[in-house]
Structure 1
Amino acid sequence: MLRPRWIGVLAVCLVVAGVFAWLGQWQLSRAIDTSPPPPGSTEVVRPLDDVVAPGDYLEEPLVGQRVDVSGTWVPDDFIVVSSRFNDGVEGYWVTGQLRVTDSPSPVSLAVAVGWTSDKAQAEAAASDLSAQAAASPALVDLTGRIISDEGAAVPAKTDPQEIPRMSPAALLSRWHDTADLEVYRPYLTAAEPMGGLEAISSPAPAEGSNVNWLNIFYAAEWAVFAGFAFYLWYRLARDAWEKEIEDLEDAAGETAA
Structure 2
Amino acid sequence: MLAPRYWGAHLLALVLVATAIGLGYWQLTAWQAHRDAKAADLTHATPMPLDDVIGPDDPFPGNRVGQPVTVSGTWVPDGTVYVSGREHEGRQGYWVVTPLAVGSPDGAAIPIVRGWVADPDTAPEPPSGEAEVTAWLQPPEGTGETDTDPTDDVLPQLRIADIIQHVDQDLYGAYGVSEQPEQGLAAASLSQLPDVGAFTGVRNLLYAIEWWFFGAFAVFIWWRWVTDTTAREREDEESDTLSEATP
TM over 0.5: yes
Is the contact made by 2:39 and 2:196 (CA closer than 8 Å) also made in structure 1?
no
Q: Which residue number in structure 1 is paired with residue 79 of structure 2? A: 77
Letter in 2 for 1:63: V
- 3-state secondary structure, aligned to 1:184: coil
- 3-state secondary structure, aligned to 2:69: strand
Letter in 1 for 2:96: V
Q: Which residue number in structure 2 is paired with residue 254 of structure 1? A: none
Task: Determine if the alignment matches structure 1 residue 148 to structure 2 residue 133.
Answer: no
How far the C-alpha of 1:89 sits from its partner, in A, is 3.0
Q: Which residue number in structure 2 is paired with residue 55 of structure 1? A: 57
CA 1:30/1:169 → structure 2, altered by over 3 Å: closer, same or farther? farther
Is the contact made by 1:63 and 1:147 (CA closer than 8 Å) also made in structure 2?
yes
CA 1:154/1:38 → structure 2, altered by over 3 Å: closer, same or farther? closer
- 3-state secondary structure, aligned to 1:90: strand
Is the contact made by 1:64 and 1:146 (CA closer than 8 Å) also made in structure 2?
yes
Letter in 2 for 1:169: A
Is the contact made by 1:95 and 1:110 (CA closer than 8 Å) also made in structure 2?
yes
How far the C-alpha of 1:29 sits from its partner, in A, is 11
Q: Which residue number in structure 1 is paired with residue 17 of structure 2? A: none
Structure whose CA Rg is larger: 2
Q: Which residue number in structure 1 is paired with residue 114 of structure 2? A: 113
- 3-state secondary structure, aligned to 1:106: coil
Instruction: Provide structure 2 residue ranges, at least 5 long, that are not aligned to the other structure.
Output: 1-26, 212-247
1:89-100 pair list within 5 angstroms: 89-100=91-102
Task: Determine if the alignment matches structure 1 residue 171 to structure 2 residue 172.
Answer: no
Is the contact made by 2:28 and 2:205 (CA closer than 8 Å) also made in structure 1?
no
1:91-112 C-alpha deviation (Å, 9 max, x unpaired)? 1011111110169x72111111
How far the C-alpha of 1:187 sits from its partner, in A, is 0.2
1:207-218 pair list within 5 angstroms: 212-216=200-204
CA 1:107/1:30 → structure 2, altered by over 3 Å: closer, same or farther? farther
Is the contact made by 1:87 and 1:201 (CA closer than 8 Å) also made in structure 2?
no
- 3-state secondary structure, aligned to 2:155: coil
1:1-257 pair list within 5 angstroms: 31=31, 32-33=33-34, 36=37, 41-43=42-44, 44-101=46-103, 106-122=107-123, 125=124, 128-129=125-126, 132-133=127-128, 138-151=129-142, 153-157=144-148, 159-160=149-150, 161=152, 162-175=154-167, 177-178=168-169, 181=170, 183-194=171-182, 196-202=184-190, 205=193, 212-216=200-204
Distance 2:37 2:156 in 1: 34
Q: Which residue number in structure 1 is paired with residue 9 of structure 2? A: none
Letter in 1 for 2:117: T
CA 1:29/1:83 → structure 2, altered by over 3 Å: closer, same or farther? same
Distance 1:187 1:63 in 2: 11
RMSD (CA atoms)? 4.0
1:215-241 C-alpha deviation (Å, 9 max, x unpaired)? 346658999xxxxxxxxxxxxxxxxxx
Instruction: Provide structure 1 residue ranges, at least 5 long, that are not aligned to the other structure.
Output: 1-26, 224-257
Query: Across the two proteins, how many residue pairs are aligned to each other?
Result: 182
CA 1:29/1:56 → structure 2, altered by over 3 Å: closer, same or farther? farther
1:86-144 C-alpha deviation (Å, 9 max, x unpaired)? 344321011111110169x721111111101224324xx3xx21xx52xxxx3201011
Distance 1:63 1:89 in 2: 25
Letter in 2 for 1:189: V
